[in-house]
Structure 1
Amino acid sequence: MNFPKIKTSRLILNQLENEDKNALFKIFSDEKVVKFYDIDVFESEQQSLELINFFNKRFAGKTGIRWAIRDKDTGELVGTCGFNSWNTNMKNATIGYELSSCYWGSGLASEALSAIIQFAFYNDTLFGQVYRIQGDTMLGNTASESVLRKLGFKQEGIRRSSGFWKGKFHDLKCFGLIKPEFEEV
């Protein structure tokens, strides 16, 4: 199966490659980017290669997909987005994303996520049909919450101590989007 390529007005979304290790390291070595993330600040480009390999194995195993977010004009990697899980039987997926902090507030995250959500809801040739997409945010991650709400996600509740990383438990806000709600946006 070929990795799907998606184009928007300002972005190209395609597969991460080993050549992206430097740009990915810059993104994940930024404390602001990983503040609400379930990983620590990257200390080496080897960690970037391992992450690229992890994302690509998930695609090969048909359990998830992660696109590189690239500037359409320059080809520069500015972040990643995708579905951390994709459950064909349950017809649902879990969304994940990050953007280089120098692009925050530019609308690129919303643009990229809108494109992959549309892809998931209306293209069942990848891993099968999706009817529901879930997004979780750590408490205090208001920027991420804003992006999800802009795309039509509804807050469904708080899952207490649902995540454990960086040595402690985290409450997570659960957001959900179902296909008919996205059609209304």
Structure 2
Amino acid sequence: MNFPDLQTERLILNQLNEQDTSALFAIFSDKKVIQYYDIDAYQTESQAQQLIEFFNKRYLENLGIRWAIRLKENGQLIGTCGFNSLNEKMKHAGIGYELAANQWGYGYASEAISKIIELAFSSVSPFCELYRIQGDTMIGNEASEAVLKKLGFKEEGVRRSSGFWKGEFHDLKCFGLIKPEFKAL
């Protein structure tokens, strides 16, 4: 199955490849970017290469899909977005995304995520038919919450001590978007 390449007004969304290693390392080694992530800042480019391989393997196994987010004007990798999990039986996916810190505030995350949601809820989706998409944010990640709310996700509550990373438990806010709500936007 061919990876679904997508475009928006300002962005190209396509598959990550080995040539993205240095740019992805720059993103994931920035402590500001991974502040709310369940990982530590990357120390080596091999970690970025392993992440690319992980994302692409998940796609081949139909367990998830992650797009590179590139600026249309120059092809520069500025982040990734996608579905960390796809549950065909439940018609459900978990969404994830990040952008390089110097690209924050330009609306790129909303633009990219809107496009992948549009594909996921369409009749031509290349992966399982989805009815619900869930996004979880760590308490305090107001920028990520704002992106989800802008796209029509509803805050559904807080799952107490739902995550454990960096040596401590974290409460996670749960946001959900169901197909009829997105079509109504």
Q: Between Structure 1 and Structure 2, how many residues are aligned? A: 185
The answer on whether the counterparts of 1:78 and 1:103 sit within 8 Å (CA) in structure 2 is yes
Q: How does 1:1-185 map to 2 (within 5 A)?
A: 1-185=1-185
Letter in 2 for 1:62: N
The answer on whether the counterparts of 2:33 and 2:100 sit within 8 Å (CA) in structure 1 is yes
The answer on whether the counterparts of 1:124 and 1:130 sit within 8 Å (CA) in structure 2 is no
Q: What is the alpha-carbon distance in structure 2 between the residues aligned to residue 125 and residue 144 of structure 1?
A: 25
Secondary structure, in 3 states, of the residue corresponding to 2:105?
A: coil
Q: What is the alpha-carbon distance in structure 2 between the residues aligned to residue 112 and residue 123 of structure 1?
A: 19
Secondary structure, in 3 states, of the residue corresponding to 2:53?
A: helix
Q: What is the alpha-carbon distance in structure 2 between the residues aligned to residue 128 and residue 83 of structure 1?
A: 11
The alpha-carbon deviation at position 127 of structure 1 amounts to 2.1
The gaps in structure 2 that reach 5 residues or longer are: none
**TM-score, length of structure 2 as denominator length:** 0.98
Secondary structure, in 3 states, of the residue corresponding to 1:162?
A: strand
Letter in 1 for 2:57: K
The answer on whether the counterparts of 1:39 and 1:166 sit within 8 Å (CA) in structure 2 is yes
Q: What is the alpha-carbon distance in structure 1 between the residues aligned to residue 170 and residue 156 of structure 2?
A: 17
Let me know the Cα RMSD of the aligned residues: 0.7
1:8-48 deviation per Cα after TM superposition (whole angstroms, max 9, x unaligned)? 00000000001100000010111100000111000010000
The gaps in structure 1 that reach 5 residues or longer are: none
The answer on whether the counterparts of 1:131 and 1:179 sit within 8 Å (CA) in structure 2 is yes
Q: What is the alpha-carbon distance in structure 2 between the residues aligned to residue 61 and residue 164 of structure 1?
A: 26
Letter in 1 for 2:132: R
**TM-score, length of structure 1 as denominator length:** 0.98
Percent identity over the alignment is 64
- Closer, same or farther in 2 for the Cα pair 1:124/1:88, shift >3 Å? farther
